[in-house]
């Protein structure tokens, strides 16, 4: 839909929901939009739902990770926003399906908006539009994807002086042990977890579990499955509200994929669980360690396009610190039944409705709109073309096609991919490649200005 069609379609819901929420005591609104890094950029305003949309500075789709820390590269130049075009506004249209009242603060509601260009076309850089495009492709084939994400992350005691100085390594992990599945890692652990679950439940977000993970300060939560767009929205909100709750308690949460040296303790994954449904019935199961023909084709598509879409699953310099299949972080294009060292783990038990694929490549630093879009688009192409999967692997793959070992390599294959241009739009493909090249350039600039510990220890004497 173009801008006029979309706002007209949303108008009745704006009126009805606006009236209901005002009667329920809502006074303020958090307006969110999704940036390239998978964060929610937000503003707070008096509660209102504008049928015409709100002005949005297009540069928010061009901001760098950390807004320029530590070298000051606040944004990357792109056709959407640059010195050449003067950084124009576009329109943000709130999706009423994403409107939620906050149970822990009833005077506050929040909504997620999508961007539209001033000519009325959907903004090519908006991650929710990219996901919607992939979801509609799969639905045209007669299938609905149900998706659930699980996030591993770190929690530390906040020390704002250290954080402002960039001395994150000196922060103290929350909890006294590194044992996983531990209820008494700290005295306030259970209280934080149950409060977090209550808050997400008030937003309609289900938490299947919350556990301590292996490592000091390491934790994990798993969300319950939803249709694709809602699942991505849930994932974005779950991260935001965990950070919010931690901040209230003098803690800070991180979703960087590795904050311990490689080989030490755990790294932070974000495994994606995906199942296919038709007419509200599961269609992937074919018994224990068996997949239906449509599930095989979907899997074939995932594997066939994994290298081209790899940068979406490992989007930062830090993503490749997690690269270690001995720690169950896949390094190649592979799959297997109940195989945690493969890129795709096929789960076929205990029931047909539980049959699903676990995509094990993504880290906690992904944009869930884009990773889910990549899974749906590749899987849909597999169904369209009848793409059969590679041979199944019982353990570590032998002679499998390797995945890229650096952000630069993964970015350039994505940038050259005709599939990515067709699946996500050529303008988005090129825009996202610019954003990743900016990450590579930022790191290389920072590195070039420093003499490393390796150099001091190896060459000084």
Per-residue pLDDT, averaged over 193-218, amounts to 97
Confidence of residue 189 (pLDDT cuts 50, 70, 90): very high
Per-residue pLDDT, averaged over 332-337, amounts to 96
Per-residue pLDDT, averaged over 163-183, amounts to 94
Strand ranges, E, within 213-337: 218-223, 226-227, 251-254, 272-278, 281-282, 335-337
* Gap between the terminal Cα atoms of the chain: 67
Percent of the chain with pLDDT over 70: 100
Confidence of residue 393 (pLDDT cuts 50, 70, 90): confident
Model pTM? 0.96
pLDDT of residue 328: 82
Per-residue pLDDT, averaged over 184-209, amounts to 97
Whole-angstrom distance, CA of residue 394 vs CA of residue 144: 29
Q: What are phi and psi of 50, to 5 degrees?
A: -90, 115
Confidence of residue 425 (pLDDT cuts 50, 70, 90): very high
Average predicted confidence (pLDDT) for the chain? 95
pLDDT of residue 396: 80
pLDDT of residue 92: 94
Domain spans, the chain = 3-123, 136-424
The count of residues in the chain is 461
Per-residue pLDDT, averaged over 432-437, amounts to 98
pLDDT of residue 13: 93
User: What are the pLDDT digits (tens) for 338-367?
Assistant: 999 999 999 999 999 999 999 999 999 999
Per-residue pLDDT, averaged over 128-151, amounts to 98
Q: Does domain 3-123 have CATH number 3.10.20.70?
A: yes
**Token pair of 114, please?**
């999508």
User: What are the pLDDT digits (tens) for 398-413?
Assistant: 889 999 999 999 999 9
pLDDT of residue 50: 83
User: Per-residue b/e over 82-111, b at no fewer than 16 CB within 10 Å?
Assistant: eeeeeeeebbbbbbbebbbbbeeeeebbbb
Neighbours of 352 (CB within 10 A): 16
Whole-angstrom distance, CA of residue 326 vs CA of residue 331: 10
Q: Domain 136-424 is of which CATH architecture?
A: 2-Layer Sandwich (3.30)
Q: What are phi and psi of 95, to 5 degrees?
A: -90, 110
User: What are the pLDDT digits (tens) for 16-64?
Assistant: 999 999 999 999 999 999 999 999 999 999 999 987 888 999 999 999 9
pLDDT of residue 178: 92
pLDDT(325) > 80? no
User: What are the pLDDT digits (tens) for 255-309?
Assistant: 999 998 887 888 999 999 999 999 999 999 999 999 999 999 999 999 999 999 9
pLDDT(327) > 80? no
Is the preceding omega at residue 434 within 30 degrees of 0, hence cis?
Answer: no
User: What are the pLDDT digits (tens) for 57-107?
Assistant: 999 999 999 888 999 999 999 999 999 999 999 999 999 999 999 999 999
């Amino acid at each position: 839909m173009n801008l006029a069609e979309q706002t007209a379609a949303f108008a009745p819901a704006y009126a009805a929901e606006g009236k209901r929420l005002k009667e329920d005591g809502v006074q303020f609104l958090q307006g969110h939009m999704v940036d390239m890094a998978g964060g929610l950029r937000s503003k707070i305003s008096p509660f209102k739902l504008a049928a015409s949309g709100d002005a949005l500075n297009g540069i928010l789709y061009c901001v760098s990770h950390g807004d320029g820390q530590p070298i000051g590269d606040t944004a990357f130049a792109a056709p959407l926003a640059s010195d050449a075009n003067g950084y124009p506004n576009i329109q943000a249209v709130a999706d009423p399906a994403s409107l939620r009242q906050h149970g822990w603060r009833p005077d506050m509601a929040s909504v997620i908006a999508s961007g539209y260009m001033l000519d009325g076309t959907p903004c090519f850089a908006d991650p929710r539009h990219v996901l919607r495009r992939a979801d509609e492709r799969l639905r045209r084939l007669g299938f609905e994807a149900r998706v659930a994400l699980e996030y591993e992350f770190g929690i530390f005691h906040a020390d704002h002086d250290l954080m402002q100085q960039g001395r994150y390594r000196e922060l103290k992990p929350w909890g006294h042990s590194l044992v996983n599945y531990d209820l008494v890692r700290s005295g306030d652990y259970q209280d934080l977890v149950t409060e977090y679950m209550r808050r997400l439940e008030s937003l309609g977000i289900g938490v299947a579990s919350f556990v301590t993970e292996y490592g000091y300060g390491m934790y994990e939560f798993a969300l319950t499955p939803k249709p694709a767009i809602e699942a991505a929205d849930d994932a974005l909100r779950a991260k935001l509200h965990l950070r919010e709750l931690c901040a209230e308690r003098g803690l800070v949460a991180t979703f960087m994929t590795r904050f311990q040296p490689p080989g030490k303790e755990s790294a932070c994954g974000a495994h994606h669980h995906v199942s296919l449904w038709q007419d509200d019935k599961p269609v992937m199961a074919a018994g224990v360690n068996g997949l239906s023909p449509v599930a095989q084709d979907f899997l074939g598509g995932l594997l066939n396009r994994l290298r081209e879409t790899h940068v979406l699953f490992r989007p930062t310099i830090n993503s490749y610190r997690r690269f270690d299949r001995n720690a169950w972080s896949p390094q190649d294009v592979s799959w297997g039944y109940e195989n945690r060292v493969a890129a795709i783990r096929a789960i076929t038990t205990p029931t047909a409705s539980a049959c699903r694929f676990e995509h094990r490549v993504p880290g906690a630093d992904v944009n869930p709109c884009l990773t889910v879009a990549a899974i749906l688009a590749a899987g849909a192409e597999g169904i369209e073309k009848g793409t059969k999967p590679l041979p199944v692997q019982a353990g570590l793959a032998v002679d499998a096609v390797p995945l890229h070992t650096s952000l630069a390599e993964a970015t350039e294959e994505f940038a050259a991919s005709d599939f990515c241009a067709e699946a996500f739009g050529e303008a988005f493909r090129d825009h996202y490649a610019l954003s990743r090249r900016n990450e590579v350039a930022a790191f290389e600039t920072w590195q070039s200005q420093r003499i490393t510990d390796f150099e001091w220890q190896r060459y000084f004497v």
